[in-house]
Chains A and B, each alone.
Chain A
Amino acid sequence: MIAIVDYGAGNIRSVKKALEHLGVEAQVTADPQVIAAAEKIVMPGVGHFCRCDVLNKNLRESILGAISRGVPFLGICVGMQWLFGGSTEAPETCGANLFPGECSRFPAEVKSPHVGWNRIHIHNGSKLMRGVENGAFVYYTHSYRAPVVTETIASTEYGGVFSAAVENGNVFGVQFHPEKSGPTGLKILENFCGL
């Protein structure tokens, strides 16, 4: 069973729907015990980074505990940003600090939010991106983005280069919405479910 972490952020149903479409059992939950017992964890999220306060308060330990036991974790959008140190969107809210650096707003010379379909440039050797074509299009909707780090496995160009996806062992994050990115997105979710 895959636990979909419910911490009051949006797009939870569409993630569940996509997993069901792939034939995977998924449960939306805010219960630390359910999360601790899950085979895999997906943390969706759209909206403001401060929503992570709720998460940090109630679920941080069970999620980080599962990650340290090797349970595969996928953060989507704000769920990926949470894996970094934090975000200038809500400086008081901590991230998990599993990837270095902090998320920041797009520069003023590009329209913000970044809404729509853009390409991902995939680095070799990613488990999450297996079978996904380099340059494939994915759907984005966000105003803050994560820096490119050693663990970046895919990047996108918009007002500079940012991390489209990160991967380190059993921890994965995608800034785009795989549940809204057509066949490409479903392939990425399928890769995660098959880990």
Chain B
Amino acid sequence: MASEQLTKRIIACLDVDAGRVVKGVQFQQLRDAGDPAELALLHAEAGADEIVLLDITATSEGRKTLVDTVRRAAKHLFIPFTVGGGIRSLQDAGSIFDAGADKITINSAALANPALIEEIASRFGSQAVIVAIDVKRGEADAPEAEVCVAGGRKPTGRKTLEWAREAERRGAGEILLTSMDRDGTKLGFDCELTAAVAETVSIPVIASGGAGNATHFVEVFQHGKADAALAASIFHFGTHAVAELKQTLLQAGIPMRWPC
């Protein structure tokens, strides 16, 4: 019975550089179209189930701005709020939680030092730790897909399924799986890869990379067995985008939180 199911989550992602949202943002009622705090709130009001803020800033000055951005965004946000990008230590994670994030994502730092997952999970709880896995698989079969870092440029030699299993064992609460082959293409999520990971771990898997239309979300929930799906740019075309998406998904029989 659809009404008795845990709903699938729609996650709006904000890519932030030096305190400003950087992907094509077209919210019309915004005074300041690039303010992450304002955008996060609008996405929440529009029906997003969670907000993810990914910091793409590389400078230390920008890192300080991030904590301030997180604090401002968290202030009036009463849905789950995740922050990622450049978190390399327990201290980094602590300052992000202090600023009001509910969860953090770690990626290359976890690959370099897998014990970091345990460290953060044992201090803040597994529910607060999302391990982000970027995958570039090209023509390879899903089980052979390799984890990469540096925006897909640098292969790590780690196999995706094995790394996902290790992340779970070390205390990750969720996996954020990004297909670097699909990222930015709007060709749809990599359902085969998502399903392979979702069947390997028992923690929730968030699919990312490739969202272009509502059908892509239907596919990733039905065939990709994803627990949640994340997208950035497709939600930036107006506040009604999430509502319309959720209605389409409900019609396809996918449990959604709606009305919110």
Q: Does B65 contact A (CB under 8 A)?
A: no
Question: Which residues of the other chain, B, contact A141 by a CB distance below 8 angstroms?
Answer: 80, 127, 173
* B interface footprint on A95-132 (CB within 8 Å = 1, 0 otherwise): 00000000000000001111111110000000000000
**Is the CB of B253 closer than 8 A to any CB of chain A?**
no
Interface residues of B in 173-214 (CB under 8 A from A): 173-174, 202-204
Identify which of residues 28-79 in chain B touch chain A, using a CB-to-CB cut-off of 8 Å.
44, 49, 74-76, 78-79
- In the assembled complex, which residues on chain B have CB atoms less than 8 Å from the CB atom of A116? 6-9, 49, 204, 227-228
Query: Can you list, as one digit per residue, whether each of A71-94 has a CB less than 8 Å from chain B (1) or not (0)?
Result: 000000000000000000000000
Partner of B204 from the list A115, A117, A181 (CB cut-off 8 Å) is A115
Contact digits for A2-23, partner B, Cβ 8 Å, 1 yes 0 no = 0000000111011001100100
Q: Which of B7, B204, B227, B228 contacts A137, CB < 8 Å? A: B7
Main SS class of interface, A: mixed
Assembled-state Cα–Cα distance A10/B125 (Å) = 7
A46:B227 contact, CB within 8 angstroms: no
Q: Is the interface of B mostly helix, strand, loop or mixed?
A: loop
B84 close to A (CB within 8 Å): no
Judge whether A46 and B125 touch: CB under 8 Å.
yes
Residue of A nearest to B103 (CB): A141
- Is B79 a contact of A182 with CB atoms below 8 Å? yes
A-B contact count (CB 8 A): 89
A148 proximal to B (CB < 8 A): no
Inter-subunit contact A14/B79 (CB<8 Å): no
> Smallest distance from the beta carbon of A195 to chain B beta carbons, Å?
20
Which A residue's beta carbon lies closest to that of B80?
Answer: A180
Using Cβ atoms and an 8 Å threshold, which residues of chain B touch A157?
4
Name A17's contact: one of B44, B100, B202 (CB within 8 Å). B100
- Most chain B Cβ neighbours within 10 Å, of A18, A135, A141: A141
Inter-chain CA distance A141–B204, complex, in Å, is 11
**Complex interface: chain B residues within 8 A of A182 (CB):** 44, 78-79, 260
Residues of A within 8 A of B75 (CB): 17
B76 proximity list for chain A (CB < 8 A): 21
A13, B100: Cβ atoms closer than 8 Å: yes
The answer to whether B244 has its CB under 8 Å from any CB of chain A is no
**Shortest Cβ distance from B204 into A: residue:** A115
Interface: B102 (CB within 8 A): yes
- Residues of A near B233 (CB, < 8 A) are none
Query: Does B113 belong to the interface (CB within 8 Å)?
Result: no
Question: Complex formed: what's the CA distance from A187 to B71 in Å?
Answer: 23
Question: A144 at interface (Cβ–Cβ under 8 A)?
Answer: no
| Minimum Cβ distance to chain A for residue B219 (Å) | 19
How far, in angstroms, from A30 to B78 measured CA to CA in the complex? 25
Q: Check B124 for interface membership: any CB of A closer than 8 A.
A: yes
A residues within 8 A CB of B257?
A: 117, 137
Interchain CA distance A9-B122 in the complex, whole Å: 11
Best-buried of A21, A119, A179 by chain B (most CB within 10 Å): A119
Q: Is A162 an interface residue (CB 8 A)?
A: no
Chain A proximity of B169: nearest CB distance (Å): 14
A21 to B79, alpha carbons, bound, how many Å?
A: 14
| Chain A residues whose C-beta falls within 8 Å of the C-beta of B228 in the assembled complex | 116
- Can you list, as one digit per residue, whether each of B216-236 has a CB less than 8 Å from chain A (1) or not (0)? 000000000001100000000
Closest CB in chain B relative to A46 CB, distance in Å: 5
Find chain B residues with CB under 8 A from A119 CB: 3-4
Question: Would you list 15 pairs from A and B whose C-beta atoms are within 8 A, ordered by A residue?
Answer: A10-B125, A47-B124, A111-B202, A111-B203, A114-B6, A115-B204, A116-B204, A116-B227, A118-B5, A118-B7, A119-B3, A140-B6, A180-B78, A182-B260, A183-B78
Across the A-B interface, the 4 shortest Cβ-Cβ residue pairs: A47-B125, A117-B257, A141-B127, A137-B257
Given A137-B257, A181-B78, A183-B260, 13 additional A-B pairs, CB 8 A: A13-B98, A14-B100, A21-B76, A21-B78, A46-B125, A115-B127, A115-B174, A116-B8, A116-B9, A117-B7, A158-B6, A180-B80, A186-B78
